[in-house]
Amino acid sequence: MHPVLFDFGPIQIRFYGLMYVVAIVVGVYLLRKEVRRKGLELTDDDVMGFIIWAVVCGVLGARLYYVAFNLDYYLAFPREIPAIWHGGLAIHGGLIGGFLFALIFLKKKKIPFWSMADAVAPTIILGQAFGRFGNFMNGDAHGTPTDMPWGIVFPPGSIAGGEFQGIPIHPTMLYEMFINLGIFSLLWFVIRKREYKAGFLFALYIVMYSAGRFFVEQFRADSLMLGDLRAAQIVSAMLIVSVLGIIMRKRLWLSER
């Protein structure tokens, strides 16, 4: 558990950044396959551009969302705002950023939004799994103290180790990583093999991820708060209820044929 993979004097290669690179490379490969399977009129270069800019906008949205919840700190230390390697990316903000970019990109390319959303859903959740491994090596997105046998003591130099020195804590980033890998497996190897109405796969991704995040959030030590409530749990509950309502009302599980 060390945030730096290689250190070449002033140049550092961090696990956190490496996981973004891996997510982009794997995401491009998987999305190209799905775009071809669905017959969407996008070139390989279009897919590459879509993934890269979606990640950029997602990271920007995730950071702005996190900063907004910790505004007093970042107004006092504005130089910390771009320092994402110190932790501080909120996935719900990332989804908003990526969603807004996709709306503009797909409208310009005249690609049906929900068909593309279905194509990209497995890629998003797999990228989130890679990101959580980066969090694990970085020692952020960490849990509360635990006496469970799988509790992990993080090194003092990490964010988690600095807060809980020598104390085993819930490895919440690994909890979420395994949940995300399970969701990816369901979406990619099982559910996508059938025909459904456009938007069903993306809706399932939102519901399953939100349920997993709601569960893991109760063990987090660094939750963003709205008063006495955890913001991620509030957002997750709202998404589960609203998206399940859309699935049922529009009968998205049925084939369009």
- Domain of residue 225, residue span: 4-250
Residue 257 lies in a domain: no
Does 22 map to a domain?
yes
Cβ contacts of residue 139 below 8 Å, gap of 6+?
Answer: 1, 3, 154, 155, 157, 158, 159, 160, 161
Judge whether 256 lies within some domain: no
Distance between CA atoms of residues 81 and 216, nearest Å: 26
Residue 71 included in any domain: yes
Note the pTM of the prediction, 2 decimals.
0.92
- Residue 192 falls inside a structural domain: yes
Residue 169 lies in a domain: yes
Three-state SS sequence of the chain: CCCEEEEECCEEEEHHHHHHHHHHHHHHHHHHHHHHHHCCCCCHHHHHHHHHHHHHHHHHHHHHHHHHHCHHHHHHCHHHCCCHHHCCCCHHHHHHHHHHHHHHHHHHHCCCHHHHHHHHHHHHHHHHHHHHHHHHHHCCCCECECCCCCCECCCCCCHHHHHCCCCCECCHHHHHHHHHHHHHHHHHHHHHHCCCCCCHHHHHHHHHHHHHHHHHHCCECCCCEECCEEHHHHHHHHHHHHHHHHHHHHCCCCCCC
Give the pLDDT confidence score for residue 257 in this predicted structure. Answer: 62
Is 255 domain-assigned? no
State the pLDDT at residue 4. Answer: 72
Contact indicator for 256, 197 with CB cutoff of 8 Å:
yes
The answer as to whether 61 is a domain residue is yes
Tens digit of each residue's pLDDT, the chain (257 residues): 666 766 776 777 777 788 889 999 999 999 999 999 999 999 999 999 999 999 999 999 999 999 999 999 999 999 999 988 777 889 999 999 999 999 999 999 999 999 999 999 999 999 999 999 999 998 999 999 999 999 999 998 888 999 999 999 999 999 999 999 999 999 999 999 888 999 999 999 999 999 999 999 999 999 999 999 999 999 999 999 999 999 999 999 998 76
**Cα–Cα distance list, 176 to 105, 212, 245 (Å):** 30, 7, 25
Number of domains in the chain: 1
Angle CA 145–150–156, to nearest 5: 55
